[in-house]
A and B are shown apart, each in its own frame.
Chain A
Amino acid sequence: MKKNLLISLKLTLVMIVLCAVLYPLLIAGIGKATPGGGKGETVSVNGKIVGYEKIGQKFTDDKYFWGRPSAVDYNAAGSAGSNKGPSNPDYLQTVKDRIDSFLVHNPGIKKEEIPAEMVTASGSGLDPDISPAGAYIQVKRIAAVRNLPEEKIKALVEGHIQKPLAGILGPLKVNVLKLNIALDTQK
């Protein structure tokens, strides 16, 4: 018993050094060579950091493409989903309200055209992407607000569709922040 305890103590110390000190330090060292230097990749406009490429941010202004609803209001220091069950009546009412609000802000759009992801909350509350359909459906509104031709905005969306992995694996997506930054440069 005493022998076991003594070995346990020493082996624990050895493993702490190996797994909790050396291993993370090694990865941190290697991480310095990555694109974001291990601190996360940021996106800048005119030299000013406006966000992290992979972390979604809140867009409520009609002149920007919106991202998905977020259960934590895009709080990047407290990620979470809504955890609402599919049969919860309050939740279904929330989705209904989101649909109504979407229709008010996007005149000329029919309910059947709204993709579900635009009215349901993401898993992290920080989803940086929407589907191509989710972007196309906002083109009309943005064109009207910005006084730009619809065709031009549509082409912009098209240029921002990210292909699946290796061209064949996984869904198509559009990064909302990058799309909006490009949108700001349109005249």
Chain B
Amino acid sequence: MNSEILGVVITFLVTVLLAYPLGKYIAKVFKGERTLTDFMNPVEKFFFRVCGINPHETMNWKQFLKAMLTINMLWLVYAFFLLIFQHKLPLNPDGNPGQTPDLAFNTAISFLVNCNLQHYSGESGLTYFTQLFVITFLQFVSAATGIAALVAVFNGLKEKTTQNLGNFWVIFTKSITRVLLPLCIIAAIFLAFNGSPTSYDGKDNLVTLQGDSVQVSRGPAAGMIAIKHLGTNGGGWFGANSAHPLENPNYFTNMLEMVIQVLIPIALIFALGFYINRRKLSKVIFGVMTIGLLCLLIPTIISEINGSPAIEKLGVLQSTGAMEGKEVRFGPAASGYWSIVTTIISTGSVNSMHDSSMPMSGMMQLLGMMINAFYGGCGVGILNYLIYLIIAVFIAGLMVGRTPEFMGHKVEAREVKIAALVMLLSAFLVKTFTALAAYMVAHHPDIAWQVKPGAWLNNPSYHGFSEMLYEFTSSNANNGSGFEGLGDNNIFWNVTTGIVLILARFLPIIGPVAIIGLLAKKKFVPESPGTLRTDSWTFGMMTFAVIVVFNALSFFPALALGPLAEYFSMY
């Protein structure tokens, strides 16, 4: 068992060691300083010329958001139609059918918003064409959108007083050419050499050693597996996601995939410090987030290694921990670690089935998504953290009786209102929609829908409730993992989660960019001895307390009905 714990510790250390220089590099790229990847300069210039982009044009926060939202809406329409008509398009060696409109609506939104909730199974629900032209494409551009929004915030924080948040088109393009694509190529090569398929060949037919005929799904998966993690997207090529032996062939690729999904989120925290020249702030934010990670991670690994008490009662040996839904080559420690990193950042890929996790682990996974700011997704993690931070500044200001300030700008009613609305939105969406689903199951189980609400749940009682809670929490966090026992490919789930996804993506991006845009416009107030220092550890703990108190108040009742109730019924 010790080799498993060691594997997890090494994975985390490697991640941080790689993230620090990467953060420095990212800061340089967006500051326009010299970097190793300057050979991409002519390529980018060519792109700008072809597209009619003036790279020297500056944008204020409204112009920036308009450009971002326009291109995003275009992708939504593009993805939707491709998914519906995929059976008529090339690169479909397995002859898979087109998606139904409600499923295509859900899938298009889900990948557009960097969530990757999947209400289909990769082997049969997509073609190679849509895997590449919709899924892989959106995995790149949605991650780049998140990074671009964050860099806009960096720009607002860097200058004393400014209207200029940078040029969306330029930042977006560089996020792909300088950050995502080079890293993806490296990761994909490692994956390919460890056994992930890369060729465009369709299913293989063979007869097994015992004499059964089987079909084996394949496809050019390695490249997609790289971006699904580096871009904190998470959607799997195959139905079983990274539990599938071709999507995650061995312990090395498992470590690789665990490292690269957390890499950019942590690197961006360091990039913040380098970019605005406040490394102490970066350190404090990283520290707070890491404490958050450990609070969720340690109970999870312990409960997975100890195994299931219900299986214990059946009298078998649980020396390898709780193994339902897990793979032998990863074991319970690495599976537990993955389940937490994939939920605190917004990846949502899985290497074990979360539906079969122990109740304690399930609760930690839910909490990771509810908080959604311990590292968080590509770019958006820090934006979410910024919301908590603004609220903490406000509360701290009230406590000491001073006008709250952040980075030399007065935080006033308008900014606090935006922050409060964004913060309350998540609790509102998750609880309202879960309540609606629970109501349908309890009171209208026999409505004549294609899938009756009575047949939605794969597990009874508290765990069944957790399945519904998890689905909306995951949608709201733009995470994409699921308690996959839920029968979710039907009109109710496709439409409701689609609505939650799109609201919970764009409002929490618009909110922080607007706040920083508004703050940066204001007159700069130099620091004085009376200034509340946001880069102190005391203030870090204050932010942590805000995160804990807010989420406890918002979500405790829901958790009590699901994983907590299940926990106390089993132990």
Query: Could you tell me which A residues sit within 8 Å of B by CB distance?
Result: 1, 3-12, 14-16, 18-21, 23-24, 26-28, 30-32, 34-42, 45, 49-61, 64, 68, 74-89, 91-92, 95-96, 99, 111-117, 119-131, 133-134, 164-165, 168-171, 173, 177, 180-181, 184
> A116-B316, A170-B3, A171-B3 in contact; A81/B206 too (CB < 8 A)?
no
Known: A10-B51, A11-B51, A114-B317. Contact between A170 and B327, CB under 8 A? Answer: no
B451 to chain A, nearest CB (A): 16
| Docked pose: A40 CA to B207 CA in angstroms | 16
Given contacts A56-B245, A78-B124, A127-B245, contact A85 B459 (CB under 8 A): yes
Determine the distance from Cα of A123 to Cα of B241 in the docked complex, in whole angstroms.
Answer: 9
Q: Closest 5 interchain pairs by CB?
A: A31-B198, A123-B243, A83-B485, A85-B463, A81-B353
> Complex Cα distance A120/B351, Å?
16
Of A9, A23, A82, most buried by chain B (CB within 10 Å of CB) is A23
Tell me, rounded to whole Å, the shortest Cβ–Cβ distance linking B346 to chain A. 20
Closest chain B residue to A29, Cβ basis: B198
* CA distance in complex: A112, B318 (Å): 9
User: Which of B47, B206, B244 contacts A49 (CB under 8 A)?
Assistant: B206
Q: Collect the chain B residues with CB atoms within 8 Å of residue A79's CB.
A: 121, 123, 217, 238-240, 243-244
Given A114-B317, A169-B255: A31 and B484 within 8 A (CB)?
no
Do A51 and B74 touch across chains, with their CB atoms under 8 A apart? no
- Contacts A57-B214, A170-B331 aside, 10 further interface pairs with beta carbons under 8 A come to A7-B169, A11-B173, A79-B121, A81-B484, A82-B353, A84-B485, A85-B356, A88-B459, A114-B316, A128-B245
| Cβ B463 vs Cβ A88 within 8 A | yes
Would A123 and B240 count as touching, CB distance under 8 A? yes
| A24 in complex: contacting residue of B210, B220, B459, CB < 8 Å | B220
Is the CB–CB distance between A77 and B355 below 8 Å? no
- B287-329, CB under 8 A of A: which get 1 and which 0? 0000000000000000000011011001111111111111111
Residue of A nearest to B249 (CB): A54
CB atoms of B192 and A40 under 8 A apart: no
**B536: min CB distance to chain A, Å:** 38
The reply to whether the CB of B406 lies closer than 8 angstroms to some CB of chain A is no
Q: Closest CB of chain B to A127's CB: distance in Å?
A: 5
Q: Are A84 and B324 in contact (CB under 8 A)?
A: yes
CB-based A-B contact count at 8 angstroms: 389
Inter-subunit contact B244/A124 (CB<8 Å): yes
* List of A residues within 8 angstroms of B252 by Cβ: 165
Closest A residue, CB atoms, query B137: A20
In the complex, what distance in Å separates the CA atom of A185 from the CA atom of B327?
Answer: 28
- A51-B197 in contact (CB<8A): no
Q: What's the Cα separation between A16 and B268 when bound, in Å?
A: 25
Q: How far is the CB of A32 from chain B (nearest CB, A)?
A: 8
Closest residue on chain B to residue A68 by CB atoms: B328
A34 & B193 in contact (Cβ 8 Å cutoff):
yes
In the complex, residue of chain A having the shortest beta-carbon distance to the beta carbon of B457:
A85
Chain A residue nearest in CB terms to B350: A123
> B192 and A30: CB pair below 8 A?
yes
Mask of B228-263 contacts with A, CB within 8 angstroms, 1/0:
000000000011100111100111101100000000
Contacts of B359 in A (CB 8 A): 86-87
Q: Among B7, B74, B184, point to the contact of A170 (Cβ < 8 A).
A: B7
Which of B63-71, B150-158, B414-422 contacts its partner? B63-71
Most buried by A among B71, B185, B209, B566: B209
Q: How far is the CA of A73 from the CA of B221 in the complex (A)?
A: 23
In the bound assembly, the distance between CA atoms of A21 and B132 in angstroms comes to 8
Once the chains bind, are B198 and A57 in contact (CB under 8 Å)?
no
- From the candidates A11, A21, A54, A114, name the one contacting B195 in the complex (CB within 8 A): A54
Q: Is B478 part of the binding interface, using a Cβ–Cβ cutoff of 8 Å?
A: no
A87-B310, A169-B251, A170-B334 known; A7 and B223 CB under 8 Å?
no
Give Cα A10 to B169, complex, Å.
11
Contact A11 B137 (CB under 8 A): no
Contact present for A82 and B4 (CB under 8 Å): no
Provide a sorted-by-A list of 25 A–B residue pairs whose CB atoms are within 8 angstroms: A1-B66, A8-B71, A8-B74, A19-B227, A23-B185, A39-B218, A77-B215, A78-B124, A79-B123, A79-B243, A81-B324, A82-B324, A85-B485, A87-B359, A88-B459, A116-B311, A116-B320, A120-B323, A122-B243, A122-B323, A123-B350, A123-B351, A128-B245, A130-B328, A165-B250
**Chain A residues near B200 (CB, 8 Å)?**
28
CA distance in complex: A16, B460 (Å): 44
Question: B402 near A: Cβ within 8 Å?
Answer: no
Kindly name the residue among B66, B67, B78, B314 whose own CB sees the greatest number of chain A CB atoms within 10 A.
B314
Separation of A41 and B246 alpha carbons in the complex (Å) = 10
> Taking the nearest CB of chain B, how far is it from the CB of A180, in angstroms?
6
**B256 CB to closest chain A CB, in angstroms?**
11
Q: How far is the CB of A146 from chain B (nearest CB, A)?
A: 15
Q: Tell me the smallest distance from the CB of B22 to a CB of chain A, in Å.
A: 20
> A82 near B255 (CB under 8 angstroms)?
no
Residues of B within 8 A of A81 (CB): 240, 243, 324-325, 352-353, 355-356, 484
Q: Give chain B nearest CB distance to A36 CB in angstroms.
A: 7
Among residues of B, the one whose C-beta sits closest to the C-beta of A27 is: B223
In the bound complex, CA of A86 to CA of B328 (Å) = 18
Q: Which residues of B contact A18 (CB under 8 A)?
A: 176-177, 181
A184 to B391, CA, bound (A): 67
Task: Say whether B67 contacts A4, CB under 8 Å.
Answer: yes
CA distance A178 to B269 in the complex (A): 45
Could you say which residues of chain B place their CB within 8 Å of the CB of A51?
Answer: 206, 208-209
Whether the pair B255, A165 counts as a contact (CB closer than 8 A) is: yes
Given A23-B185, A130-B328, A87-B353 contact (CB < 8 Å)? no
Given contacts A55-B246, A82-B356, A164-B251, contact A36 B325 (CB under 8 A): no
Q: How far is the CA of A37 from the CA of B198 in the complex (A)?
A: 8
B102 at interface, CB cutoff 8 A: no
A73 vs B4: C-alpha distance in the bound complex, in angstroms? 28
The reply to whether the CB of B10 lies closer than 8 angstroms to some CB of chain A is yes
